[in-house]
Amino acid sequence: MSNNVPHLERKLSLLHATAINMIDMVGIGPFVVLSVVAQIMAGPYFLYAWIAGALLSYLDAMVWSQLGAALPRAGGSFHFLKEGYGKKGGPLMSFLFVWQTMIQAPLVIASASIGFSQYASYFFHFSMIEEKIVSGSVVILVITLLYRKIESIGKISVFLWVGVLFTMGWIILGGVAHGNFLDPIKHINDGFTMQHGFVAALGFASVKTIYSYLGYYNVCHLGGEIKNPSKNIPRSMFISITGIAILYLCMNISVASVLPFEVITQSKYVVSEYIKTLYGEKAGAIVTVLILMVAFASLFSATLGYSRIPYAAAQNKSFFNFFNKVHPTLHFPHRSLLVLGGIAFVFSLLFRLKEVIDAILAMRIMIQFIGQAVGLLLLMKRKGKSFFPWRMPLYPIPLILAILIWGGIFFSTGQKMMMSGITVTALGLIAFFVAKKMNWIGDQEIK
């Protein structure tokens, strides 16, 4: 590539990559689903759902790490699917991924902005119109902050990351200082029986907890901008999951050590109520502000990663050429950012949070998670071990386990959401064959 042509630059370190992953993972999710998970599990063993989410994240991160270290390019899954399925299936699978990304990525961004506006109602009793004004404004602010060079974004990410760690640290230390921190662990099995009802509840609850862990792979979508990617991509994912799993479990334990279980299951602002109980009204207000900051940080990170996907696909001649542009001076895919941001803005005005969480997960599982894991199996068979600078231990056991668990999570999203995911995929199939017939996408060679 000529030095005169704007291109992506490898400016993000391990610290930047880890910060971007972690702030994406800790959005509004863990604060709004804590009560829901406890309600579904209906007992102190609701902590098992958070452990299950962490285990699935570790298994899936092995898939992402092996692919990300070998194919460190902007767009992540787009390249993983294209290379994994080879000359015959690669173009279709990668197209389907970009197709569903153009729908589910704005939904993810919108869900974070909607969650932000809903949690802000701790202070304000918004009307529906006011709530939508807030959620739409948050999307616009994020797009504005991301419209700059990647090294500046790395610094912003670290700043937001520090805010995330401070907020979670305060929440956890409150429970430790209260003196009953270990009680929820001692009583985790109270009323527990291994039966069909528990397994079903764990499946439904895990849909919510895994939503709160999503984002550990964000670094893969920024693969073209990561320094020493063969090492830093896997490291950043496992550091992120470990750190977030510890924070989530300690936060849940802290809350359960202070608030009665009935209060946890009924409160819309359970963490704010928890801090308020410990330190008073003013502290409850302060932690709410910090939670809103954490939600904003996650929205910032997710939007950053998603904006690279249409650009990568267009560069590969597998998506509309309109997206194949990098800003002439700031060197980032500005058209992808603006289009996804624009769609997210519209979605933030149309939907409510509860309508999108399960739909987001149902849409992603078939192509991005299960499809990608199968693609790794095919790529390993075709390329051999030497192609991969990082390889998962005990291959292919973690990969197969991840496929099976993702299948269970997909089923647990419910019939309506499963059908929405299948419908989006079916429409993508139609769009692909129409685009091929009209020569709207090229025939990029698969290695």
The pair of structure tokens assigned to 26 is 């800790």
Tokens of 159: 């700043």
Residues 260 and 290: their CA atoms lie apart, in Å, by: 24
Write down the pTM of the prediction: 0.85
pLDDT in tens, 148-183: 776 677 777 788 788 888 989 999 999 999 878 889
pLDDT (average), residues 30-56? 92
**pLDDT of res. 356:** 74
Residue 120 falls within a domain, yes or no? yes
CATH number of the domain that residue 300 is part of:
1.20.1740.10
379 found inside a domain: yes
Stretch 252-279: mean pLDDT, rounded? 93
Residue 443 domain-assigned? no
Q: Compute φ and ψ for 12, nearest 5 degrees.
A: -95, 125
CA distance 121 to 274: 17
Residue 117 falls within a domain, yes or no? Answer: yes
The two tokens of residue 349 are 């005005």
Question: Can you tell me the mean pLDDT for 267-282?
Answer: 92
Number of domains into which the chain is organized: 1
How many CB atoms lie under 10 A from the CB of residue 414?
Answer: 14
Q: What is the share, in percent, of the chain residues with pLDDT greater than 90?
A: 46
Q: Are 202 and 38 in contact (CB under 8 A)?
A: no
Q: Confirm whether 383 is domain-assigned.
A: yes
Bond into 396 cis (ω within 30): yes
Burial zone of 443 (CB within 10 Å; 0-12 exposed, 13-18 middle, 19+ buried): exposed
**DSSP string across 16-49:** HHHHHHHHHHSSSHHHHHHHHHHHHHTSGGGHHH
Q: List the structure tokens of 445.
A: 């060679």
Q: Is the pLDDT of residue 298 over 90?
A: no
Determine, yes or no, domain membership for 4.
Answer: no
Average confidence (pLDDT) over 70-89: 91
The rounded mean pLDDT for the chain is 88
Q: What confidence category does residue 442 fall into, taking pLDDT thresholds of 50, 70 and 90?
A: low
Domain encompassing residue 98: 14-437
DSSP code string of 392-416: -TTTTHHHHHHHHHHHHHHHHT-HH
Query: Is 393 inside any structural domain?
Result: yes
pLDDT bucket at 264, cuts 50 / 70 / 90? very high
Which two tokens mark 269? Answer: 């602002």
**What would the two tokens of residue 198 be?**
């528990």
Mean pLDDT of 26-40: 88
Percent share of the chain, pLDDT over 70: 96
* Residue range 296-318: mean pLDDT, rounded: 82
Q: For residue 127, tell me if it sits in a domain.
A: yes
The Cα 341–Cα 337 span in angstroms is 6
Give the residue-averaged pLDDT of 114-143: 89
- The number of beta carbons lying within 10 Å of the beta carbon of residue 396 is 16
Residues 387-406: what's their mean pLDDT?
96
Query: Has residue 447 got a pLDDT over 60?
Result: no
pLDDT in tens, 181-193: 889 999 888 877 7
Give the three-class secondary structure for 183: helix
Name the band, by pLDDT with cuts 50, 70 and 90, for residue 1. very low
Question: Which pLDDT score is estimated for 4?
Answer: 53
